[in-house]
Copies of this chain bind each other. A is one copy, B any other.
């Protein structure tokens, strides 16, 4: 029988449908078993009544968490359900009755959960994180595609470093040759922009840094746009539009997932254009004043690079993303640098997904 997905059930009220999925949770109460079935698009309560079919009832009662099941039943409107419907079960096929599923409602440590990552992504929050990630990526690609950019992916194998040789992963290529895993497609992107005007690359990137922090990863996906003939003002317009496009799309399409993650959505809703555009010199002043008021531990000195507390302090003054321009050219890092001899030209290495280490 053809499969109906849980996110389509509202269109099938009163009809008999077949759902295929896994048992998220269950409880029984006298002559009733309530199966929480998930199929990847949602979770629906399936009600098994002993009086309907005793065999189905006994099978349902014996099911362990994450058992693979095919459930047939009639879709019933139910205002108590978060998706507005439940299922009156008429048939149940058990493909695999699972016992001792390792992730139970009790608390587990992160290491245990990471070791069971392939199962952990079945849980509501991890599921929500990946759905939001998908939507962010889609919003990024649509933004560039809709604004005349050509996607040109750059090679993963590269002959040389882009971000410093100490953080390169080395690969044995053929016959004693060595290749390195890309740290950035920037050098390729600059050539591509001269062919296409506007181009972007969006793929995996590597940094051989062993630090385990929220701001370090050895492997991560990075988007890198490049626009020929653009000024740094153009680049700030582009970045602002990108962030707005992502936030708007996630708020529009991923509200249930943001709820599942228990995030403060008002912070996302507050993000609107224009984003403040601050000169580096003015940021230095703000940070020094913050220190004088006792709100920042370190006293920032002109010429330095921002640490995480400095970045947090600056953004908190505005409640939205902030651009910092005219960074001193000697600093290699997160921000655009402006070459003072060619004021229209913003350049600098691409943003790593981390604050500067030193």
Contacts and interface: CB of A to CB of B under 8 A. Distances in A.
A181 interface: yes
Interface string A2-46: 010101000000000000111000000000000000011100000
B171 A171 contact: yes
Interface string A190-221: 01111111110001101010100000001101
Contact of A40 (B20, B118, B127, B198): B198
B121 A219 contact: no
A41 B171 contact: no
Copies of this protein, total? 2
A148 interface: yes
B134 A152 contact: yes
A195 B228 contact: no
A156 interface: yes
A352 to B, nearest CB: 17
Q: Is the interface of A mostly helix, strand, loop or mixed?
A: mixed
Nearest to A204: B156
A150 interface: yes
- Of A137, A150, A157, which is in contact with the most chain B CB atoms at under 10 Å from its CB? A150
A152 to B, nearest CB: 6
A150 B134 CA distance: 7
A354 interface: no
A256 interface: no
